[in-house]
């Protein structure tokens, strides 16, 4: 049961995710979370570094879609300047938003990677929908109310996985 929370990879941040490595795995699309994955949850717009990361993916023909549990206004404000498709109020970890994003990108499950900072939403949802998942370290240590609860549960799951030898990275 807890293996559903286990990501395929763990990286410090999205900047470690390079198009060359994705292409080697046959990846042509990215479904990514927004808050604390691309920017801090209280930052409205993409940073210059994130803008460059999106440009790099586009130059390498890797499609990117943002899916977020946040409200339309928040996700639209961030995504539109990047000319990036998005799904808001995604209700992650439910599979529907992941499947919608894949369908809109016209890619199969094995051509897409899911990137996010939370086990309970991004990894569980991505794994449940059959995608390769990459967990990133949250950009900031602060969170909204619901996410704070999720983080407490995540710490317990990660601790159990660490004891069982399923993961080796530190929080």
The Cα 39–Cα 55 span in angstroms is 16
| pTM for the model | 0.90
Residue 166 is predicted with a pLDDT of: 77
Candidates 5, 43, 22, 32; CA nearest to 139 is 43
Residue 164 is predicted with a pLDDT of: 77
Which two tokens mark 29? 């699309």
Mean pLDDT of 94-106: 96
Between residues 107 and 156, which one has the greater pLDDT?
107
pLDDT band at residue 161 using 50, 70 and 90 as cut-offs: confident
Contact (Cβ atoms closer than 8 angstroms) between residue 171 and residue 135: no
Look up the CATH number of domain 2-140.
Answer: 3.40.50.1000
pLDDT band at residue 10 using 50, 70 and 90 as cut-offs: very high
46-98 pLDDT, tens digit per residue, is 999 999 999 999 999 999 999 999 999 999 999 999 999 999 999 999 999 99
The Cα 14–Cα 164 span in angstroms is 27
* Residue 149, pLDDT above cutoff 90: no
Query: Domain residue spans in the chain?
Result: 2-140
Residue 144 is predicted with a pLDDT of: 63
Mean pLDDT of 111-124: 96
pLDDT band at residue 134 using 50, 70 and 90 as cut-offs: very high
* Residue 153, pLDDT above cutoff 80: yes
Residue 150 is predicted with a pLDDT of: 79
């Amino acid at each position: 049961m807890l293996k559903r929370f286990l990501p395929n990879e763990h990286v410090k941040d999205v900047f470690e995710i390079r198009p060359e490595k994705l292409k080697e795995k046959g990846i042509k699309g990215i479904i990514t979370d927004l808050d604390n994955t691309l920017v801090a949850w209280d930052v409205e717009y993409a940073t210059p570094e994130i803008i460059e990361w999106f440009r790099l993916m586009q130059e390498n023909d890797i499609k990117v879609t943002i899916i977020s549990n946040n409200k339309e206004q928040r996700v639209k404000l961030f995504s539109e300047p990047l000319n990036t498709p998005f799904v808001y109020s995604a209700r992650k970890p439910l599979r529907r938003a992941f499947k919608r994003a894949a369908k809109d990108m016209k890619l199969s499950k094995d051509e897409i990677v899911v990137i996010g900072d939370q086990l309970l939403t991004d990894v569980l949802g991505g794994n449940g929908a059959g995608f390769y998942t990459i967990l990133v370290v949250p950009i900031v240590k602060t969170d909204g109310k619901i996410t704070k609860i999720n983080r407490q549960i995540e710490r317990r799951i990660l601790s159990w996985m660490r004891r069982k030898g399923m993961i080796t990275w530190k929080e």
